[in-house]
Amino acid sequence: LATGRRCLIVRNGLFSYRWSQILDVGDIAQNTVVCTARAESEDPQSAWAPAPIDEVVAAIRAQRSEVVFAPHVETAAGILLPEEYVRALADAVHEVGGLLVLDSIASGAIWVDMDALGVDVLLSAPQKGWSGSPGAGYVMLSDAGREAVTSRTSSSFAIDLARWLWISEEYVAGRAPYHATMPTDTLARNAVAMTETRERGFEALRAAQWDLGTRVRALLAERGLPSVAADGFASPSVAVVHTTDPGLRTGALFREQGLQIAAGVPLHCGEPESFSTFRIGLFGLDKLADVDGTVDRLSVALDRIGL
C-alpha cells in the first residue's frame, strides 16, 4: 500500500517508530512525514501526548498524504489515541484521497469500530488482547482498503496482501490453495480463544479492560510512579510509568516477586537520555476475568518491592 506513496506517520514511541524503520530499510515510500509525540514539560518525568491533532491534520493536507500510519495504542508509552483523534485522522486523509492504517496490536479489548472511525486498514495480532499465540498477523480492510489492496501490485512476495486475501477467501469457500506453509495448529488454537472472547461478550470485556487499566494506573500513581501517557491519552491496556530504579526498569524486581513485566524502551521522540520506564501489559482473558485479583497481585508485589 505504501510503495511509491506519500506517507505520514503518527509516532508516539518505539513501536510506531517501526513504521519509519520499515519504510526506510525497504526504500518503500516516496517520502515520509513524521508527527512525533512531545513532553508536556521540561521535567525528565513529564507526561507525553501525541502531536496535536490540528497539527497532524495540517501536515496531512500539506503533504497530501496517500497513506497515514497511526498506533491506536503505543506500547512504548502507553498512549491511546482517543476516538475523536482517530476520526480526525481519517477525515483528513480521506479528504486528500488517502488511506488510514491503524495499528491495534496493543489495543487489548478497546475494540475499534472501523466504519464509525473511518479506518481503512486495521492491524492486530493474536498474542495480546486475543489471548492467543503469535504466528500470524490479522489484517482487516474497509471497502476502500480492499480496493487499494486488489488494485495494486505488491512489492513483497511473502506479505502480498492481495494474495493472502485470495487465500483466505478460498479457505472460506472450502478450498485449500497454497502460498506458504501455514501455522495450522496455532491458528486453530487462536480461533478457539477468539470464540471464547466472543462468548464472554465484547462489550463486557471492553468494560473490564477500562476498569483494570484505570485501577492499575491509579495504583501506580499512588506508589509514586508517574505515567508516561498524559491525561486523556492513557491506555487501559498498557501502563507505562517513569522510574529511576534499574531494578524496576529491567523488571528484575518484579521477577523476584513472580511477576513478568516488560522493560522500558526508548520513544524515539526526542526524549532525554535519562528517559527510563517500565511497562505493564494488561492483556488477556485471564486478567479481564479477574480484575480484582490482578490488581491485588500487583499491589502485593509493589508492597514487597517497597513501593
- Give the C-alpha distances (Å, rounded to integers) separating 212 from 109, 142, 236: 11, 31, 7
User: How far is it, in rounded angstroms, from Cα 83 to Cα 64?
Assistant: 22
Quick one: pLDDT at residue 51?
Answer: 99
What DSSP string runs through 100-141? EEEE-TT-TT----HHHHT-SEEEE-TTTTT---SS--EEEE
Residues 6 or more apart whose CB falls under 8 angstroms from that of 118 comprise 86, 87, 89, 90, 91, 94, 100
Quick one: pLDDT at residue 113?
Answer: 98
Q: Which residues of 70-80 are buried (b: 16+ CB within 10 A; e: fewer)?
A: bbbbbbbbbbb
Q: Are strands 99-103 and 121-124 parallel, antiparallel or unpaired?
A: parallel
Give 128-148 pLDDT, tens digit per residue: 999 999 999 999 999 999 999
pLDDT beyond 90 at 105? yes
Give 18-30 pLDDT, tens digit per residue: 999 999 999 999 9
All domains in the chain, ordered by first residue: 6-194 (3.40.640.10), 201-305 (3.90.1150.10)
Quick one: pLDDT at residue 233?
Answer: 99
| Model pTM score | 0.95
Residues 6 or more apart whose CB falls under 8 angstroms from that of 9 comprise 16, 19, 20, 23, 32, 33, 34, 35, 68, 69, 70
With beta carbons less than 8 A apart as the criterion, state whether 146 and 99 touch: no
Give 208-223 pLDDT, tens digit per residue: 999 999 999 999 999 9
Quick one: pLDDT at residue 98?
Answer: 98
Q: State the maximum Cα–Cα separation within the chain, in Å, rounded to a whole number.
A: 59
Give 43-102 pLDDT, tens digit per residue: 999 999 999 999 999 999 999 999 999 999 999 999 999 999 999 999 999 999 999 999
Give 245-261 pLDDT, tens digit per residue: 999 999 999 999 999 99
Give 151-201 pLDDT, tens digit per residue: 998 888 999 999 999 999 999 999 999 999 999 999 999 999 999 999 999
Quick one: pLDDT at residue 155?
Answer: 86
Quick one: pLDDT at residue 131?
Answer: 93
Give 223-247 pLDDT, tens digit per residue: 999 999 999 999 999 999 999 999 9
